[in-house]
Structure 1
């Protein structure tokens, strides 16, 4: 396969994997997890989708990879200790969503991608970004997918120790990222693949089932045996060999996007 292309798009780091050939090809954009793999380069290695006739451009999440503070994730830990929802989860999704239109325009200017609808993919918290692109923007999308996705942000908040002290502002924020409640908007936009590890957090597994039930025929649920929440071993910042469960996820994503690329063309 061709070597990855690295760069920045409107200030957002990316790792791009080109398709075979030198003609303009469709584009699939991804947002990585905050668990391993927690950088665009590591996510590209975990889920390369090498057999797709499309560009796969893996974007970096805020304060991750090349945007880490002092080359570590310690600054993220400090935000979590301060307020896991309003200092970490919610603003990260907000920033990644808001910076995407300019990043997309820059990607189109830099790479030979076609001007048709894109595919979107997100893992864990990156899944909330992909779902927000679908639910809350008008960017044309031919298909989407999430892997162990943050489908209801409230479920993610519940994974942190202690009872979160919700107030009016944080209740509004967390409810704005409940994508089961936004199922009608998602279903109107594009078909969605929901990939769920069979040993992921139980609440996230439940949310995956609930979302697919709410979406109906516009969605598909794939359960991956042996897959917990992460897709790679720690520390998950640098590219690493693909683990067997991630290989199964990669195959499911490749099949899904290939099917919908064919339908779109």
Structure 2
């Protein structure tokens, strides 16, 4: 019997006050591999300078400056870079709806890339009221995705799996909103009308991650932001983001990132 491959399910936390996450690709200096993973978000990986080898499943795409790849929700993907490059990544959470987009080349590619570039420049400047401008540009880009790049119903594959991923997406969307609360697997299962064993299997099979690890990854994303942007104490950050106390938070933080949160905070 062929062994089923598993891939890490990532939690995508939008930028503060915005309905998306936008960032500079961390492998900008080259010789970097982002291993195969997936998440409940549509992702656009766009190369500004240099080249990058992008993989959707087993299919390889060589992206040069001015080109991008669209990754659908829960599509397995990875990035390999050998030389210096610069790329930007836009992640759009899609937990509450299933839409699929085609990355085939179109006349509008240049327009979509220009909107991404415009968003990236505004994010760097962060001038007064930039969030409003960012959202304005983002909705232009989203309109383009929906009207030009969205797949028609007859081209969607694996409908049954998409429905199940849609159910899991609603659950992960709920966790994104209630991550700071004390949410056990049993409580979550009761909220959505599942038995705990079935919900646990759903996370492992379709999310490729343990429920507890997924919830913790959301909490870490928010805690990192607090460490970087606020003067809150470690204890305050721990309690604010769903950790029982500062000791537990510090221990788990060191296990994940290799340093204590106090040291991370000092470096910021």
Normalising to structure 1: TM-score of the pair?
Answer: 0.30
Higher relative CO (Cα under 8 Å, sequence separation at least 6) belongs to 1
Normalising to structure 2: TM-score of the pair?
Answer: 0.30
- Higher Cα Rg: structure 1 or 2? 2
